[in-house]
Amino acid sequence: MSALRGRVAGLPEWDRCAVMGVVNVTPDSFSDGGLWFDQELAVKHGLDLIAAGADLVDVGGESTRPGARRVDAAEELRRVIPVVRELAAAGVLVSVDTMRASVAARAVEAGARLVNDVSGGLADPAMVPMAAEAGIPFVVMHWRGQSVDMNNRAIYGDVVTEVVDELRRRLDEVVAGGVDPERIIVDPGLGFAKNAPHDLALMAHLQELRALGRPLLVAASRKRFLGWVLAGGKGDSPARFPPPSTELHAPIPPARERDAATAAVSAIAAREGAWAVRVHEVRPSVDAVRVARAIEEAL
Ligand code: PMM
What are the structural domains, with CATH classification, of the chain? 2-221+267-297 (3.20.20.20)
**Cα Rg of the chain (Å, integer):** 18
From atom 13 of ligand 1, which residue's Cα is the shortest distance away?
64
Cβ atoms of 270 and 215 within 8 Å: the answer is no
Regarding the beta carbon of 281 and ligand 1, being less than 6 Å apart is answered no
Which percentage of the chain shows pLDDT scores above 90?
Answer: 82
Å from CA of 298 to ligand 1 middle: 32
Regarding the beta carbon of 284 and ligand 1, being less than 6 Å apart is answered no
pLDDT digits (tens, 9 = 90+) for 143-167: 998 878 878 888 899 999 999 999 9
Does the pLDDT at position 1 exceed 60? no
Instruction: Tell the burial category of 42 from Cβ atoms under 10 Å away from its Cβ (0-12, 13-18, 19+).
Output: buried
Does the pLDDT at position 71 exceed 80? yes
**Confidence tier at 195 by pLDDT (50, 70, 90):** very high
Phi then psi dihedrals of residue 183, to 5 deg: -105, 5
**Confidence tier at 112 by pLDDT (50, 70, 90):** very high
Is there a catalytic annotation at residue 278?
yes
pLDDT of residue 18: 98
Regarding the beta carbon of 221 and ligand 1, being less than 6 Å apart is answered yes
Å from CA of 100 to ligand 1 middle: 15
pLDDT digits (tens, 9 = 90+) for 165-190: 999 999 999 999 999 999 999 999 99
pTM of the model: 0.96
CB atoms within 10 A of CB 230: 17
CA gap 284, 294 in Å, rounded: 15
CA neighbours closer than 13 Å in the CB half-sphere of residue 214:
27
Å from CA of 64 to ligand 1 middle: 7
Is there a catalytic annotation at residue 214?
no
In residues, how long is the chain? 299
Å from CA of 109 to ligand 1 middle: 23
Does the pLDDT at position 36 exceed 70? no
Does the pLDDT at position 130 exceed 70? yes
Does the pLDDT at position 246 exceed 80? no
Regarding the beta carbon of 150 and ligand 1, being less than 6 Å apart is answered no
